[in-house]
């Protein structure tokens, strides 16, 4: 016997208030009795504390309970019998706002559904499950699939508007960590311009120019970072982690030439920048310049400190919005 849950929309993306249509397909070689067929759609926020921020023991024992965002159950068939061969049952679920009982750990009510997001310490997920309820001592049959929630434009744009783009420069004087002596002595200067506010449906764009560098450049990379904060008692545990890295130059680039930046934002690993009391999601862009000092690769592998001394970077806050 097989059970499958098919949604009408192939991309499985819904924007409240929407109606989610689908079909439950049950295939069985022989007739099967059941006590009812039920479809449940639910959204949950799962928070996790970082061991680096709060310590290993506190991260293990002070677990944060999942937050129930939204839940709806629809009975699509009363008790009966599934005929031999199979059965297809359509269903409809209204995707509206969060449940009235949905509150954050600090007690504040939720005003809207948050977008689907898969992060390192914050996970916002929406699942739809079909259950074929069997009789006593018989195992129920079920199937689950994920659907994606996107909020309509303007839902998370209540904070102050920041400039859409910013100029930046990277020199030996802007670096707070130790640099390789030849880098510090010879000097370098990289300038550019990059967006600080970007729509999730459009690429992140900018440009970069290597004006001066006495040491050859090995590569130029753009890192997209997430900054996740989770409430831990009376403080916030904040952790930054990498989402993706995009290389825009390989090898020693020509001086004075503008290099374009064109970065596609990943779908499930990004969402509108938000702050919800118990947690917050922010994003950053890090422009990384890796220099080539002529060391053999095995040397930098054995001495990781040497690798860090050959990297210069600039981190810029990035605000993501839904337009």
Report the sign of the C-alpha dihedral through residues 55, 59, 64, 69, in that order.
positive
Q: Is the peptide bond before 182 cis (omega within 30 degrees of 0)?
A: no
Q: Which residues contact 280 (CB under 8 A, 6 or more apart)?
A: 228, 229, 236, 274
Q: SS3 for 29? A: coil
On the question of pLDDT at 40 being above 80, the answer is: yes
- Note the CATH number of domain 2-149: 2.60.40.640
User: Which pLDDT score is estimated for 61?
Assistant: 52
Q: Confirm if 208 and 220 have CB atoms less than 8 A apart.
A: yes
**Mean pLDDT in residue range 21-25:** 96
Helices vs strands, H then E, count in the chain? 5, 21
On the question of pLDDT at 151 being above 70, the answer is: yes
**Mean pLDDT in residue range 172-186:** 90
pTM: 0.86
- What pLDDT digit, counting tens, does each position of 78-125 carry? 999 999 998 999 999 999 888 766 666 566 667 788 999 999 999 999
The domains spanning 2-149 and 165-321 adopt the same CATH topology: yes
Residue closest to 9 by CA, chosen among 18, 21, 17: 21
The vertex-273 CA angle with 103 and 107, nearest 5°, equals: 15
User: Which pLDDT score is estimated for 135?
Assistant: 78
User: Which pLDDT score is estimated for 142?
Assistant: 94
User: Which pLDDT score is estimated for 156?
Assistant: 46
The vertex-268 CA angle with 266 and 272, nearest 5°, equals: 85
Residue 6, token pair as written in the block:
């098919």
Strand-pairing partners, residue 73, are 40
User: Which pLDDT score is estimated for 235?
Assistant: 78
On the question of pLDDT at 287 being above 90, the answer is: yes
The residue extents of the domains of the chain are: 2-149, 165-321
**What's the mean pLDDT when you consider all of the chain?**
87
Fold of domain 165-321: Immunoglobulin-like (2.60.40)
């Amino acid at each position: 016997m097989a059970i499958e849950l098919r949604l009408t929309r192939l991309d499985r993306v819904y924007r409240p208030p929407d109606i989610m249509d689908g079909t439950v397909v049950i295939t069985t070689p022989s007739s099967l009795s059941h006590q009812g067929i039920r479809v449940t759609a639910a959204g949950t926020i799962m928070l996790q504390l970082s061991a680096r921020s709060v310590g290993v023991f506190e991260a293990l024992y002070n677990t944060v309970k999942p937050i129930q965002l939204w839940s709806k159950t629809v009975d699509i068939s009363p008790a009966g019998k599934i005929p031999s061969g199979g059965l297809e049952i359509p269903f409809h679920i209204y995707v509206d706002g969060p449940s009235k009982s949905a509150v954050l750990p600090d007690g504040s009510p939720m005003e809207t559904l948050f977008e689907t997001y898969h992060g390192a310490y914050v996970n916002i997920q929406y699942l739809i499950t079909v259950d074929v309820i069997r009789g006593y001592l018989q195992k129920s049959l079920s199937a689950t699939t994920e659907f994606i929630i996107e909020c309509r434009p303007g839902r998370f744009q209540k904070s102050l508007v920041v400039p859409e783009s910013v100029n930046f420069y990277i020199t030996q004087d802007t670096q707070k960590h130790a640099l390789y002596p030849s880098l510090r002595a010879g000097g370098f200067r990289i300038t550019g311009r990059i967006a600080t506010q970007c729509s999730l449906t459009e690429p992140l764009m900018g440009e970069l120019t290597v004006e001066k560098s006495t040491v050859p450049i090995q590569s130029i990379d753009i890192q997209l970072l997430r900054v996740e904060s989770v409430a831990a008692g009376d403080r916030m545990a904040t952790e930054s982690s990498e989402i993706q890295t995009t290389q825009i130059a390989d090898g020693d680039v020509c001086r004075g030439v503008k290099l374009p930046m064109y970065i596609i934002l990943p779908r499930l690993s990004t969402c509108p920048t938000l702050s919800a009391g118990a947690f917050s999601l922010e994003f950053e862009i890090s422009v990384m310049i890796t220099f080539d000092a002529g060391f053999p690769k095995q040397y930098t592998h054995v001495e990781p400190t040497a690798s860090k001394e050959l990297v210069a970077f600039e981190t810029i806050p990035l605000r993501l919005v839904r337009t």
